């Protein structure tokens, strides 16, 4: 039985290019679907600005409902940028120009690991179509970032795909809805594995694959279950082939899949609720089942039949998925929720959003705070797969109130992390879970994926910017900065 976290435990923090990087039109970068997403708020959903074939400009929902009458974007449509609209991803919090400063702060906290994603259209502006040359300036940017990490002995953990598809692929191949996108993705993978083979040992293929939906995320014009799961099938094949390439090019690398796996409990002991919760959970676990075990699970026939989905596979797809499973399962954990038979299934949730849990506190955004649910999830996943796990997102989004010097006394954040780390430690020491590391989400304040706001903050570092992008972008350490530094220095002993 382990007494504490392993010596080489990867403490760190997590970010994603579309919410952090900015520089959307610099360094030869091509446009991505995330560049067309407007700002929103808790009660005002984010939209995508598009131009129809006849030139009409309009907006569609970023999180479509799946109704083909409302959510289908006609062929020939393209995303466009309206000069009167604020797009949070364009500058985000400008990691593009602040990376040295930010990585120095991560180094000061003692990070062993820093999770970031590559903006695919920075590497290949058109996504890597046949004959396209990679964008040297883009490749060089990430090389500089990784070299900066090395100065502080920080291992980069690189997500190859996080919530953005090159706009060219969306327009020409219907994004991940088209099989051509698999080859484009693999060209990008080959390029970056080759270029960064001495700098990056930890990779993640696709972020939160279970919650991806529609144009903004997958570049698909339609958001029906049929299109969504067909696109996911393409992702499974692409991800397996990326695993293969990665191992060929970087033999000592580890490459994982990534699923949003917040916890689901049955509401009570009513048998239909207990079984229903298990079945509902499959909406998320089907992804890790396929990518970790290498095959569509036995329940998938019924799962797809109920939704009227038929997956079109090419000969050899099943063999590819079988031959190249993920080395580890990375997941995000934020909250728990409960299942009961009256729950309305929202097709967008990937087995993620049940009803409220009356036994736990909530954040200002109504997300249940449930540290025990993290231990529950770690055990559930390790019992199921017996392969290493990596918590690559966890944290609480709050409205932080800085004093006149920009300092935030975020004791609530410290409490949240302390409680989660205590349970994480039990999972490692008592349940025997093989856990590679822990990278809390938004280790520096960045744009919210859900709402596009800045005021929903997760960081140990405060960034002076508001919901409309105004501010100095000055970085200031919060109280939690020093606390997390101590946690890392003592390998999770001093909480
Ligand atoms: C996950 C995403 C992240 C991140 C996080 C927090 O779904 O992988 O990109 O943003 O959730 O969500 P939000 O930003 O909506 O608070």
Separation CA 106–CA 475 (nearest Å): 12
**Which residue puts its alpha carbon closest to atom 14 of ligand 1?**
448
Q: Does residue 171 have an active-site annotation?
A: no
Cβ density class 291-314: b for 16+ within 10 Å, e for less? bbbbebeeebeebbeebebeeeee
Task: Determine the atom of ligand 1 nearest the C-alpha atom of 447.
Answer: 14
**Pairing relationship of beta strands 78-79 and 47-51 according to DSSP bridges:** antiparallel
Q: How far apart are CA 125 and CA 108, in angstroms?
A: 34
What's the start-to-end Cα distance of the chain, in Å?
21
Q: 364 in helix, strand or coil?
A: coil
Cβ contact 487:495 at 8 Å? yes
Bridge partners of residue 330, in order along the sequence: 258, 390
What's the gap in Å between 448 CA and the centre of ligand 1? 6
Residue nearest to atom 2 of ligand 1 (CA): 449
Mutation test residue for ligand 1: of 34, 441, 448, 455, the one with most atoms within 8 Å of CB: 441
In a structure prediction context, what are the per-residue pLDDT tens digits for the chain, which is 495 residues long?
788 999 999 999 999 999 999 999 999 999 999 999 999 988 899 999 999 888 899 999 998 888 888 888 888 888 999 999 999 999 999 999 999 999 999 999 999 999 999 999 999 999 999 999 999 999 999 999 999 999 999 999 999 999 999 999 999 999 999 999 999 999 999 999 999 999 999 999 999 999 999 999 999 999 999 999 999 999 999 999 999 999 999 999 999 999 999 999 999 999 999 999 999 999 999 999 999 999 999 999 999 999 999 999 999 999 999 999 999 999 999 999 999 988 766 555 677 778 889 999 999 999 999 999 999 999 999 999 999 999 999 999 999 999 998 999 999 999 999 999 999 999 999 999 999 999 999 999 999 999 999 999 999 999 999 999 999 999 999 999 999 999 999 999 999
Distance (Å) from CA 25 to ligand 1 centroid: 23
User: For residue 449, how far is its CA from the centre of ligand 1 (angstroms)?
Assistant: 5
Within 8 A by CB and 6+ apart from 127, the residues are: 30, 120, 121, 165, 166, 168, 169, 181, 184, 185, 188
Number of the ligand 1 atom closest to the C-alpha atom of 450: 15
* Six token digits for residue 60: 């569609």
> What is the pTM (predicted TM-score) of this model?
0.98
Minimal-distance CA residue to ligand 1 atom 3: 449
Check: CB of residue 71 under 8 Å from CB of residue 63.
no
CA dist 369 and 7 (Å) reads 28
Q: Which long-range contacts (CB under 8 A, 24 or more apart) does 294-299 make?
A: 294/240, 294/321, 294/322, 294/323, 294/324, 294/325, 295/321, 295/322, 296/321
- Which of 16, 366, 450 has most ligand 1 atoms within 8 Å of CB, for mutation? 450
* Spatial CA neighbour of 127 closest among 194, 173, 88: 173
Superfamily of domain 10-489: Glycosidases (3.20.20.80)
Domain boundaries in the chain?
10-489
Q: Whose CA is nearest to atom 9 of ligand 1?
A: 449
**Active-site residue, selected from the candidate residues 393, 404, 423, 468:** 393
Residues with CB under 6 A from ligand 1: 16, 19, 207-208, 260, 332, 393, 397, 441, 448-450, 456
Say what the ipTM of the complex is: 0.98
Report d(CA 181, CA 176) in Å as an integer: 6
Residues 6+ apart with CB under 8 A from 313: 233
Q: Which residue has the tokens 């706009």?
A: 167
For residue 207, give the ligand 1 atom closest to its CA.
8
Q: Look at ligand 1, atom 10, and give the residue with the nearest C-alpha.
A: 449
Atom of ligand 1 at shortest range from CA of 16: 9
Structure tokens at 46: 């984010």
Ligand 1 centroid from CA 319, angstroms: 33
């Amino acid at each position: 039985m382990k007494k504490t976290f392993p010596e080489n435990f990867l403490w760190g923090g997590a970010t994603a290019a579309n919410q952090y990087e900015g520089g959307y039109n610099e360094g030869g970068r091509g446009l991505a679907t995330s560049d067309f997403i407007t700002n929103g708020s808790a009660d005002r959903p984010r939209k995508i600005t598009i131009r129809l074939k006849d030139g009409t400009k309009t907006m569609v929902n970023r999180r479509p409902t799946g109704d083909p009458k409302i959510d289908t974007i006609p062929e020939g449509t393209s995303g466009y940028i309206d000069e009167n609209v604020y797009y949070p991803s364009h500058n985000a919090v400008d990691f593009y120009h602040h990376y040295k400063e930010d990585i120095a702060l991560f180094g000061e906290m003692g990070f062993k690991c820093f999770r970031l994603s590559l903006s695919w259209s920075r590497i290949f502006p058109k996504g890597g179509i046949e004959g396209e040359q990679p964008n040297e300036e883009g490749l060089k940017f990430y090389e500089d970032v990784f070299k900066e990490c090395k100065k502080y002995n920080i291992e980069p953990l690189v997500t190859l795909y996080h919530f953005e598809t090159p706009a060219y692929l969306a327009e020409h191949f219907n994004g991940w809805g088209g099989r051509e996108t698999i080859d484009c993705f693999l060209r990008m993978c080959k390029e970056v594995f080759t270029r960064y083979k001495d700098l990056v040992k930890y990779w993640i293929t696709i972020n939160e694959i279970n919650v991806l939906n529609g144009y903004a995320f997958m570049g698909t014009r339609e958001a029906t279950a049929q299109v969504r799961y067909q696109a996911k099938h393409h992702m499974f094949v692409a991800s397996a082939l990326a695993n293969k390439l990665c191992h060929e090019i970087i033999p000592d690398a580890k490459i994982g899949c990534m699923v949003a796996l917040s916890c689901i409990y049955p509401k009570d002991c009513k048998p239909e609720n207990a079984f229903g919760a298990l079945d509902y959970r499959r909406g998320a676990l089907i992804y890790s089942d396929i990518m970790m075990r290498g095959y569509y699970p036995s329940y998938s026939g019924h799962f797809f039949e109920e939704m009227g989905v038929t997956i079109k596979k090419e000969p050899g797809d099943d063999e590819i998925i079988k031959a190249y499973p993920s080395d580890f399962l990375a997941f995000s954990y934020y909250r728990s929720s409960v299942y009961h038979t009256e729950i309305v299934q929202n097709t967008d949730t990937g087995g993620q959003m049940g009803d409220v849990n009356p036994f736990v506190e909530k954040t200002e955004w109504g997300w249940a705070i449930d540290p025990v649910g993290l231990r529950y999830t770690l055990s559930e996943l390790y019992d199921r797969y017996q392969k290493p796990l990596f918590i690559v997102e966890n944290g609480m989004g709050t409205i932080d109130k800085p004093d006149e010097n920009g300092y935030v006394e975020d004791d609530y954040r410290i409490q949240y992390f302390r409680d989660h780390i205590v349970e994480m430690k039990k999972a490692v020491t008592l349940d025997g879970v093989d856990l590679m590391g822990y990278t809390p989400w938004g280790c520096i304040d960045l744009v919210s994926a859900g709402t596009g706001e800045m005021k929903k903050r997760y960081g140990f570092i405060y960034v002076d910017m508001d919901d409309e992008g105004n501010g100095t972008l000055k970085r200031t350490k919060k109280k939690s900065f020093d606390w997390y530094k101590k946690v890392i220095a003592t390998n999770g002993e001093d909480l």
